[in-house]
Amino acid sequence: MEHSGLAGDESKDSSSPTRAQRRVEKNRMFFDSPRRALGLVVDEVADLPKEFLEKYNIEEVPFTTRFPDGEFITSKEDIYQKMKEALATGRHLPTTAAPSFKNFLSVYQNALKNFEKILVITISSKLSGAYSSARIARSVFKKPEKLDIFVFDCFTAEVGEGLAAIKTQELISQGKTTEEIVEKLKEFCPKITLLACIDDFKYVVRGGRVRLPKIFIGPTSFIQKLGIRFLVGLKNGKVKFFGASLGKDKARILAEEIDLQRRGGAIQVAIAHADNLKEAQKLKTELEKRPQIKVLYISSVSPVVATHTGPGALLAAFHPIDK
């Protein structure tokens, strides 16, 4: 029936394109449209602002967060309340899983529709299997397309990874090649410092990223109730203790530690919070009171990160500004 109708339309005015012809032309224009030279792919842990992802058409690979009974968590808003309920009722806390190679493969295929080449930034391989999955997905492609995908381990995480991604996009916008960008990142990423001030350390311990004998978990929680906050962070891709500070003002504690570690130099900072926007904004204000500190953005952590930090955590990453 549709063919008959289209034929009849054509006979009335042979100069007018049919719906089928218009559809073919639209598809042809889509596939023939020039792809941009180089695009960026990140994993969910980078916690980049949505506006930044959309502006540069950056693809994001999701992690998996779910409770042992099979309930999946995809919303940043849901994770905190559900974790509190789990602790109150004795329910097991959620577990996390890195993206599978199929997750990466799907994202690569989408990204290569818009870009001739893609650079993939992943969380530290010492913290997650994401880097391994990303490389396996690359191996599925055959040459020469395989050579259009480069996977880079940034050896940091969270907003530290976000800073690495922002630097990468900056270099892409400058027209740098993949090889040039990778060399720059090898110099840049070791300069990123990631710090976190945690409300309740048991989440970090239960997440398995910090090893602490069970006998010490109770005393640690008690110490925190007394107003002592532990600072943890990343060094060489691994979680490390950065010390402890007296007081419950996490924004002040982090601001002072960042100010100490920057040693008077100019820095750029990214901030993330776990259901704690008020303190994140306070940290931004505290930092910007000091000279030569620029805060790029504030974001909320993804469910996979929230599982390991627990509610209330405050994180900040920074790097020196090149002169």
Statement to judge: residues 267 and 239 lie in one domain: yes
182 and 295 in a single domain? The answer is: no
Q: Are 298 and 271 in contact, with CB atoms under 8 Å apart?
A: yes
Looking up residue 207, the CATH number of its domain turns out to be 3.30.1180.10
For 137-185, the pLDDT digits (tens) are: 999 999 999 999 999 999 999 999 999 999 999 999 999 999 999 999 9
Residues 255 and 315 in one domain: yes
What would the pLDDT profile of 94-133 be if each residue is shown by its tens digit? 888 899 999 999 999 999 999 999 999 999 999 899 999 9
What is the mean pLDDT of the segment spanning 36-47? 95
* 199 is a domain residue: yes
Residues 183, 184, 187, 190: is their CA dihedral positive or negative? negative
Residue 86 has pLDDT above 60, yes or no: yes
Lowest mean pLDDT among 13-17, 39-43, 220-224, 226-230: 13-17
pLDDT of 216 reads: 41
16 occurs within a structural domain:
no
What is the total count of domains within the chain?
A: 2
- CB within 8 A of 224, min separation 6: which ones? 199, 200, 201, 230
Question: What's the confidence (pLDDT) of residue 17?
Answer: 55
- CATH number at 183 reads 3.40.50.10170
Task: Please name the residue ranges forming H helices in the chain.
Answer: 2-12, 19-32, 50-55, 76-89, 101-111, 130-140, 158-173, 178-188, 202-206, 214-225, 250-262, 277-288, 303-309
CA distances from 217 to 74, 89, 112, 224 (A): 29, 19, 47, 11
Model confidence at 243, pLDDT cuts 50, 70, 90, reads: confident
Q: What is the pLDDT of residue 176?
A: 96
Range of the domain at 215: 193-320
Taking residues 295-318, report their average pLDDT: 90
Do 259 and 175 share a structural domain? Answer: no
Do 176 and 47 have their domain in common?
Answer: yes
* Residue 213 falls inside a structural domain: yes
Q: What pLDDT is recorded for position 15?
A: 46
Same structural domain for residues 53 and 166? yes
9 located within any domain: no
pLDDT at 261 over 60: yes
Rounded CA separation 202/126 (Å): 21
Q: Which residues pair with 149 in a beta bridge?
A: 118
Q: Are residues 275 and 158 in the same domain?
A: no
Q: What does the pLDDT read at residue 26?
A: 46
Whether 224 has a pLDDT exceeding 80, the answer reads no
Say yes or no: 181 and 239 in one domain: no
State whether 222 and 302 are in the same domain. yes
More confident of the two residues 12 and 269:
269
Of 166, 190, 214, the one marking the end of a domain is 190
Give the pLDDT band of residue 199 (cuts 50, 70, 90).
confident
pLDDT at 222 over 50: no
If asked whether residues 219 and 108 sit together in one domain, one would say: no
φ, ψ dihedrals at 245, nearest 5°: -140, 145
Torsion of CA 276, 281, 285, 291, to 10 degrees: 90
- The total of other beta-carbon atoms located within 10 Å of residue 87's CB is 14
216 and 285 share one domain: yes
Supply the pLDDT for residue 9: 35
